[in-house]
Structure 1
Amino acid sequence: MTDDVKHLWLIYRSAGFISAYNQKTIMINISIHFLFMIESYIDGIVKYGVNMKSNKVDVLNGSIAKQLMLFFFPILFGSLFQQIYNTTGAIIVGKFIGKYALAAVGGSTASLLNLSTGFAIGVASGGSVIIAQAYGNRDNEKLSKAVHTALSFGVIFGLIISIVMFIFSEKILIFLQVPSEILDDSTTYLRILYVGFVSSLVFNMGSGILRAVGDTKRPLYFLIIAVIVNIILDIVFVTVFHLGVFGVGVSVIIAQTVSALLVLNALINTEFEYKVNIKKMKIDPQILKNILIIGIPAGIQASLFAISNLTVQSSVNYLGADYVAAWTALSKIDSVYWMTIASFGISITTFVAQNFGARKHDRVKDSIKVCITIASIITIIISVVLYTLCPWIYRLFLSDYNVIQIGIKILRMMAPFYITYVAIEIIAGALRGVGDTIIPTVITLVGICALRILWIFIMFGRYPQIETIAICYPISWVATSIIFTLYYLILRPIDKKFAIQSKEFTKVEA
C-alpha cells in the first residue's frame, strides 16, 4: 500500500467511520484513489514506455538455473495474482449480490469460459513458440511476420468465438441443465464476457510475444494493473451502482481491454525487431500453418483436460454436498502447486524454443535437466508442506469437521504423487519448444484424460467412494510420466528435431 493510500485510510479511520455503510464508503474512495494512481502509471507507460533491457531475460547465455528462475518467477506471480483476484471477486459477488449470483458467475459458466479460454491460450502458445524460435535464430523477417500473423489471427479467431458464443450461450447453458433460477444471470454474464473475448485473446497473444523474446516482467505488470482495475470496478459497480451480475461482467471486459491496450502499446512503441505496425497486420499462410501445427494440439489438450475434470466432478457431485465442499476446497489449496508447475512448463517452452532457434543444442538439453531438477525440489517442498499442514489449511476454508476429514484424506492421497507430474509438464513443454506437439498431445490425452474417464466409468460404479475418484489422479500421473520419459529417452524426439534443423540449415547455406 502506498503512503498516500495509508494516509487516506488513517484519516477515515480517525474520523470514526466504523459503520458498515461508511466502511463501504471508505473502500469506494480508496478505490477511486487507486484508479487515479493507475491512470497516472498507465500515462507514464504510454508516454515513456518501459525500459525493455531492464525487463528482458537473456535465455541464450549465462547460468541456465539463474536465467530460468528469472523467467519463471514473473509468470508464477502473475498466476498467483490472478488467483487472488478470483478469490476476491467471488467474495464481492457472494457477499454483496448473493448466492445465486455467485452460482451464475461460477459453475457451468466458468467451465465454458475455461474451455474456450484454455483452447484459445493453447493455440496462442503456437505463436509464442514460432516467435521464440525466430528470435533465437535472429531471423528478423520471420519474427516480424510471425508477430503480425499471431495478432491478426488472434483478433479474427476471437471475433468468431465471440459471435458464436454470444448467439448460442443460452442454448448451451440449458443443455448443461443450469438451474432456472440462475439461467438469466448466467446467460447475461456469459454474453458480456464473450463480447470482450477479443481483448482477452489479444492480451494473451501479446503477452506470449513478449515472453517469447524473454520479457516476462511487463506482462506481469499489465496483469496486475488489470486485476486491480477489475477489483475496484467490481466494488464500484456492485456496491454503488447496484448493477449486479451485469456490472461484474462489464468490470471484467473493461479490465481485459485495459490489459490488451497496454500490451499493444508496448508492442507498437518498442524499437526492437518484434515491433507491431498496424499497416503490416496480415496473415502469412505458411507461418499460420506452423503456428496451428503447434497450437491446435495444445488447445485441444487444454479443452479435454477440462472435459475430463468435469467428468470427475460429476462423480464427486454424486457423493453429496460434503464431498463437493471438500473437493472444491482442495482445488483452492493445491492450486499453488499447479500454478507453480504450469509456470515451469511455460518457462521451459520459451527457453527451449529460443535456444533451438539459435541452434544451441547442448543448452537445450541442459536446460531440460536443470528445469526438471529445480521443479522436482520445489514440488517435494510443496508436497511435504501440504501433506503435513493440510488439517490447518483446510480449517482456513471450512469449519465442518466431517468435510475437513474428507479433504485431508483426499489431499494426503494425492500430495505424495505430485512429483510424478514434473516429467509430464517439463518434457511436454520442452517438446513444444522444438515444435513436437502431436505425439505429446496423444500421450497426454490417453494417459491422463482418457484414463481418468475410463477409470471413473469402470471403477466408480463398483466402488462409489471418494477414494476411488481421488486415486485416478496419481494413477494417471504415474502412467503418463512413464510414457513421456520413455518417449523422451528412447525415441529421442529432440535429437531428431536437431537433425532436421541441421539439414535445413545446410541446404540454406548451400
Structure 2
Amino acid sequence: MKKDMTMDLCSGPIMGNLLRFSIPLMLSGILQLLFNSADIIVLGQFAGGNAMAAVGSTSSLNNLIVNIFLGLSAGGSVVVAQYFGMKSDKDLEESVHTAILLGLISGLILVVVGLLLAEPMLALMGTTPDLIDQAVLYMRIIFAGMPAIMVYDFGAGILRAVGDTRRPLLYLSLGGVVNVALNLFFVLAFDMGVAGVAIGTVVSQTLAAFLVVRCLVKTEASYGIRLRRLRIVKAKLIRILRIGIPTGVQGAVFSISNVLIQSAINSFDSSTIVGGNTASVNIENFVYTAMNAVYQGSLTFTSQNVGAHNVKRIVPILWWSSLCVTAVGLLLGVTAVVFGRALLGIYSPDPQIIAYGFDRLKLISLTYFLCGLMDTVCGCIRGLGASITPTLISLTGACALRIVWIYTIFASTRSLFMLYLSYPVSWIVTYIANLVCFAVTYRRWKRRALASTTIVNGYTVG
C-alpha cells in the first residue's frame, strides 16, 4: 500500500503541521535558488562579470511577466485546497484538470510574449549596451521553455494544496542536479556562456515538470490527472481566475516597482553596481524563499479550513504563521549579513562588486522579515477567498509608493541607500494595510460561514 503524502490541515496542532508543511517547501525553494545561483556563479567565475550582470539584469523583467501567470497557479492552489478541505471529490477533480490545462496554455502564451518583448523591454529598462545582447539571448531561451515551467508550477501547486510538499522537493532536487551538471558542461566544455546556462535551466525544468505530471497521472486519488478528462470546466476556471488574476496583478505590481528600481540602478551606468546588486539579490532570495514557504503554508492552511468552515482555526493560523515567518526572516537575515562578504565572494571575486553588494545586503536582509509578515497576512486573506482588495493595497503600498520614492527622494539624493530604503518602507505600509483588510474580510466570512454550516462526516461544511 502506497504511503499517503497528503495532509489534512483542518485538525491537529497548527504550529506542528505548519512546520511539517513548510520545511519541505523551504528546502524546495532553497534548492531551487541554489541551482539558480549555480547559473550566476558559473557565469561569474568562468564567463566573466558581464555575463553574470546580463543574467541579473533580466530577473526583474522575467518576474514581471511570469508573475502574472503564476498568480493563476496560486488561484488554482487555493481552489483545489478549498475543495480538498470540503471533501468534495467531483469539484476537486474538475479543479485539478482545469488548473493543469490552464498552466499549459499559460506557458504557451509566455513563449510568444517573451520572444517578442525581450529586446524592446530590456532596452526600455536602460540595460547597458555591453549587457543587452547577452541578456536578450538568455531571456529568449528561458521563455522558450515556459510551457514546462508553468506545468511544473501548476502541478506542484496542486500537490501543495492537498498538503504534499515532499514530492515536489524530490522532483526539484533531481532537476536541479541536472541543471548544475549541464551548466558546467555547456559553459566549461563548449564556452556557451549565458546560452548554455539558459539551456540547462530549461532542460532541468522540463524534467521536473515531467515528474510532477507523472505523479499526478499515476495517483488514484481524486486530485489525480486523467488524460482523457483534461478539459476546462467553466465554473472552476472562473473561481481560479477570480483569485488568480488579482494575485497575478499583485505579483506584477511588485515586479513593476522592481523593474523601476532596476532601471534606477542601471542609470548609474556601472556594470560593477549592477553586478553587486545581482549578487546581493541572489543571497536575499534565500531569505525570501524560506519565508515564502510560510506564506504558502498560511495560504493552504487557511484555504483548507475555509473549505471545511473551520471558523475557530483561521485567526490562530494567522498568528502562528506570523510568529514563524518573523523567526525565519530574522534568523536567516542576520546570518546573511554576518557571512555576507564571504557569500558575495562566491558570486564574484571583484572587490568592488562585493562592496556594492554588501551595502544592499545589510539593509534588505535585516528588514526582510517585514516582507514575510506582509506576505503571510496576504496569504490568509487569499485563503479566505478575497483577492482584489489585497491587490489594490499592494498597488498603493508597493508600486505607487516606490514610484513616488524613486522620482522624489531618490531623484534628489542619487543615493543607492535611499533607493534601497524604499523596500522596507513599502513593506511596513503594506503590512499594516493588509492587517486591517484581514480583520474586515475575516468578520464578513465568519458571518457567512456560521449562517450556512452543517455537520458532515465530522466537519462543518456549507
Which residue in 1 is equivalent to 2:429?
Answer: 479
Whether contact under 8 Å (1:189, 1:246) holds in the other structure is yes
Corresponding residue of 1:82? 32
* In 2: Cα distance, 1:181 partner to 1:154 partner: 35
TM-superposed CA distance for 1:413, in Å, is 4.2
Alignment pair present for 1:149 and 2:94: no
2:249 aligns to what? 300
For residues 248 and 409 of structure 1, the distance between their equivalents in structure 2, rounded to whole angstroms, comes to 28
TM-score, with length taken from structure 2: 0.89
Tell me how far 1:415 sits from its aligned partner.
4.9
Q: Specify the structure having the higher radius of gyration (Cα).
A: 1
Alignment partner of 2:447 out of 470, 480, 499: 499
Instruction: Name the CA distance, whole Å, in 2 between partners of 1:87 and 1:494.
Output: 39
Residue 98 of structure 1, CA deviation: 4.3
Change (3 A) 1:135 1:269: same
Q: CA deviation digits over 1:207-246, x for unaligned, max 9?
A: 0000000100001111111111111122233333454544
| Correspondence list, 1:212-231, <5 A | 212-231=161-180
Please, which runs of 5 or more residues in structure 2 have no aligned partner? none
Matched, 1:459 2:409: yes
Deviation of residue 324 (structure 1)?
A: 4.2
Alignment partner of 1:311 is 2:241: no
Give 3-state SS (helix, strand or coil) of 2:413's partner.
coil
Where do 1:297-446 residues align within 5 Å? 297-319=246-268, 321=270, 323-386=273-336, 390=340, 410-446=360-396
Deviates more, 1:299-308 or 1:240-249: 240-249
The CA deviation at 1:124 is 0.7
- Write out aligned runs for 1:169-208 (5 A): 169-179=118-128, 183-208=132-157
Corresponding residue of 2:108: 159
Percent identity over the alignment is 31
Q: Distance in 1 between matches of 2:177 and 2:264?
A: 36
Aligned counterparts of 1:160 and 1:406: Cα–Cα separation in 2: 37
In structure 2, C-alpha distance between the alignment counterparts of 1:394 and 1:181, rounded to whole Å = 23
State the Cα distance separating 1:140 from its structure 2 match: 0.5
C-alpha change, 1:331 and 1:177, in structure 2 (3 Å) is closer
Q: Which amino acid aligns with 1:230?
A: N
Greater relative contact order, per chain length (Cα 8 Å cut-off, separation 6+): 2
1:74-129 C-alpha deviation (Å, 9 max, x unpaired): 11111111111122122323444445544444413x33322222222121100000
In the aligned structure 2, how far is the partner of 1:195 from the partner of 1:57?
Answer: 35
Deviates more, 1:183-192 or 1:195-204: 183-192
CA distance in 2, matches of 1:409, 1:248: 28
Q: TM-score, normalised by structure 1?
A: 0.81
For these two proteins, the number of residue pairs brought into alignment is 456
Amino acid at match of 1:257: T
- Give CA-to-partner distance per residue, 1:267-307, whole Å, 9 cap, x none: 01001111111111111111111101111111111122122
- The verdict on how the C-alpha distance between 1:369 and 1:252 changes in structure 2, with shifts beyond 3 A counting, is same
Matched, 1:238 2:196: no
Unaligned segments of structure 1, at least 5 residues? 1-49
The answer (yes or no) to whether the contact 2:104–2:150 under 8 Å persists in 1 is: yes
> What does the per-residue CA deviation read over 1:464-495, in whole Å, with 9 as the maximum and x for residues that have no partner?
22332232222212222222223333x2x123
Contact 1:319/1:465 (CA < 8 Å) preserved in 2? no
Deviations 1:32-64 (A, max 9, x none): xxxxxxxxxxxxxxxxxx9441x3333222211
